[in-house]
């Protein structure tokens, strides 16, 4: 398992009975997590001193209950700053487990010794974009949600990265890739964090089980003659690490050599010393 264990301002304090107790900077949040099927004694006093609690509804979705939480606040990871705010379906605008991937590809960018172009698809609020830009890459950030792209640009601003070479694009990711192929553009690194299900800005339907492999095949055509890496993240139960590894191996490694690896990503749990699983990642590198 790849462990995101270098955080100072984020922490999974404890997990029990379908919920995880987290510290986000100065604030304590309690949110549901479907991985937490075990039941342990809740000893930490912070279980009862919450700033906010997201209650899952038996009918789907849920709602936030606020006690003393600002509308937004910042936390840092290394030299990056992220502006957080509670919004729909339990999210805060950041997936802390992805820090283990940020560190991996950032090191590859820094060691490349040459200009590096990175494409970040389904780029959300820009965690990977900021990490790549801070490491020295020119980044193209693509997401179908205008609100998410605006939020990502705000994160870049508070991180002091507004002057970095980043293209911020609101677009359907598949259609953007198809246009980039026709334009003859290429990238040294590609990152994708596709949703299980979604809709593009013009109502395009995305189902990951149907769309992900054709997209990987398309993205291979965008790789430069000397590519550095390809990263796929998955929070979909059916896309286990072995599936991600097979896709990358059969499409990217077959054409470009290098090596493929895949694994679960996770966060350490302070109270128990265990690791909370948080999805899977597939990595190709050369």
In the structure encoding, which two tokens stand for residue 77, read together? Answer: 């990871």
For the record, the structure tokens of 250 come out as 């059969």
Q: Spelled out in words, what is the top-level CATH class assigned to the domain 96-285?
A: alpha beta
DSSP symbol at 250: I
Helix axes 208-220, 241-248, angle to 10 degrees: 30
Fold (topology level) of 2-84: Immunoglobulin-like (2.60.40)
Two structure tokens written together for 4: 């995101």
Please give the pLDDT value at position 58.
79
Each residue's pLDDT expressed in tens, for the chain with a length of 286 residues: 999 999 999 999 999 999 999 999 999 999 999 999 999 999 999 999 999 999 988 777 899 999 999 999 999 999 999 999 998 789 999 999 999 999 999 999 999 999 999 999 999 999 999 999 999 999 999 999 999 999 999 999 999 999 999 999 999 999 999 999 999 999 999 999 998 877 666 676 777 878 899 999 999 999 999 999 999 999 987 789 999 999 999 999 999 999 999 999 999 999 999 999 999 999 999 9
In the prediction, which pLDDT does 201 show?
60
Best CA proximity match to 222, nearest among 249, 186, 174: 186
pLDDT for 208 equals: 80
CB 136 within 8 A of CB 109: yes
Tell me if domain 2-84 and domain 96-285 are identical in fold. no
d(CA 222, CA 149): 22
In the chain, what are the domain boundaries? Answer: 2-84, 96-285
Whole-angstrom distance, CA of residue 281 vs CA of residue 101? 8
pTM: 0.94
């Amino acid at each position: 398992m790849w462990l995101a264990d270098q955080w100072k301002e984020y922490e999974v304090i404890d997990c029990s009975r379908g919920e995880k107790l987290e510290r986000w900077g100065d604030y304590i949040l309690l949110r549901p997590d479907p991985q937490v099927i075990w039941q342990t004694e809740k000893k930490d006093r912070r279980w009862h001193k919450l700033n906010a609690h997201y209650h899952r509804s038996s009918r789907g979705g849920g709602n936030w209950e606020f006690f003393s939480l600002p509308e937004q606040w910042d936390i840092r990871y290394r030299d990056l700053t992220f502006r957080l705010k509670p919004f729909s379906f339990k999210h805060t605008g950041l997936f802390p487990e992805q820090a283990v991937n940020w560190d991996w590809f950032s090191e590859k960018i820094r060691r490349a010794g040459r200009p590096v172009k990175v494409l970040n698809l389904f780029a959300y609020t820009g965690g990977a974009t900021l990490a790549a830009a801070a490491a020295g890459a020119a980044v193209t950030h693509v997401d179908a949600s205008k609100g998410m792209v605006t939020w990502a640009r705000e994160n870049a601003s508070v991180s002091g990265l507004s002057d970095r070479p980043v293209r911020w694009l609101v677009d359907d990711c598949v259609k953007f890739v198809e246009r980039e192929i026709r334009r003859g553009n290429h990238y040294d690194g590609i990152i994708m964090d596709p949703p299980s299900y979604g809709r593009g800005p013009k109502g395009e339907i995305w189902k990951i089980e149907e769309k992900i492999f054709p997209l990987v095949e398309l993205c291979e055509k965008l790789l430069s003659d000397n590519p550095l890496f390809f990263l796929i993240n998955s929070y979909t139960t059916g896309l286990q690490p072995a599936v991600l590894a097979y896709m990358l191996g059969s499409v990217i490694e077959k054409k470009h050599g290098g090596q493929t690896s895949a694994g679960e990503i996770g966060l350490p749990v302070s109270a128990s010393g265990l690791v909370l699983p948080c999805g899977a990642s597939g990595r190709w590198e050369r």
